Structures are given as structure tokens and as C-alpha cells.
Amino acid sequence: MPLAKALELAQEYDLDLVEVAANARPPVCKLMDYGKFKYESAMKAREARKNQAHTVIKEMKLRPKIDPHDYDTKKGHVVRFLKQGDKVKITIMFRGREQSRPELGYRLLQRLADDVQDLGFVESNPKQDGRNMIMVLGPHKKKTEAMAEAREAQAARKAERRGDAPAEAPAEEPAEA
């Protein structure tokens, strides 16, 4: 169709003539509301950014001679991080004579990895780095999956609270004079 006729048709329908494929022979154009198109593409991009997850590495520091209760607390934090879909860097800090016993740190890291095996996997094996021993755990599920699960659980809790609210307030008994 000639360009003049296409422009006339676009004005008739109050639309824009947008060139889709300039390199094609003949060039391909489309009648559309360009403002609406730009708005919808911006909304799609915003939605994609909203669902995008940033990989975060959380860090947990331990000592080789850690108390059992402290270990359980730190393990609980690691479990929470892995459930949220974050990677966890576990650092064991050695001081003084502890540096001559790196196997204690290695055993502690292996124990922690075994305890959280159902939530994550060892991404990088324990390695000595000066006074510290470092290991990285990665989650089994991706951050986006964890975020979706958290949103569903939150919606379920809200629905449950709404459903548990009493329909009618109990009538008050008349006060005696």
C-alpha cells in the first residue's frame, strides 16, 4: 500500500503508523496506538523487574569451639536463609592455637552441611584462607520460587485470619443495678 494511503488510513482510525520491519522488502508498517503500546511495554518491564530476584550471599561466622546451643541458633539462621533462597557463606574463625587444628573447623562445616542437606547443597567445599575456613552453601530452590511460596503462605494466613473473625459480636448481658 502506498505511504500516503497508509497515513490517510491511520488518521481515519485515529491510530499511528509504526514501522515494524524497516529492512524488509517492502518495509512493513502497522497501525496501532503507539502511546498505549509504550505504556503496556513499560508495565511488562516493571512486572518483570518485580519478579526478578537478586542473588544475595548471607554470611554466618562460627568458632571451632562453639557451644551446642549456639550452634543450633546459628544453624537456625542458615536454615532460614536457605529457605528464603539465599546463598550462605559460612566462615570459621581460628584464633591462637586453634589455627593448628583445622580439622575441627572442617568437621564442624561438614556437620552443618549434613544438618541442612535437605534445604541446600555445598557449592564450594571448605578451604582454609589464612585464619579462616570458608564454605558456601547454595539453596535447592531458586530465589523466585522461595519468594512465590512466601507470598502464597502470606495470602493463606491473611485468608485464615479473615475466616476466623467472628461474624457477630456476642450480645452483652444487661448490668444489674
- Tell me whether residue 166 is in a domain: no
Domain hosting residue 46, numbered range: 3-51
* Predicted confidence band of residue 85 (pLDDT cuts 50, 70, 90): confident
Same domain, 8 and 71: no
CATH at residue 26: 3.10.20.80
- Tell me whether residue 69 is in a domain: yes
Same domain, 63 and 78: yes
| Number of domains within the chain | 2
pLDDT at 59 over 90: yes
pLDDT at 168: 54
- Tell me whether residue 133 is in a domain: yes
CATH at residue 80: 3.30.110.10
**What's the CA angle centered on 157, arms 156 and 162, to 5 degrees?**
95
* Predicted confidence band of residue 84 (pLDDT cuts 50, 70, 90): confident
pLDDT at 171: 55
pLDDT in tens, 92-151: 999 989 888 899 999 999 999 999 999 899 999 999 988 999 999 999 888 778 888 888
pLDDT at 173 over 80: no
- Tell me whether residue 45 is in a domain: yes
The pLDDT mean for the chain works out to 87
- Tell me whether residue 170 is in a domain: no
- Tell me whether residue 176 is in a domain: no
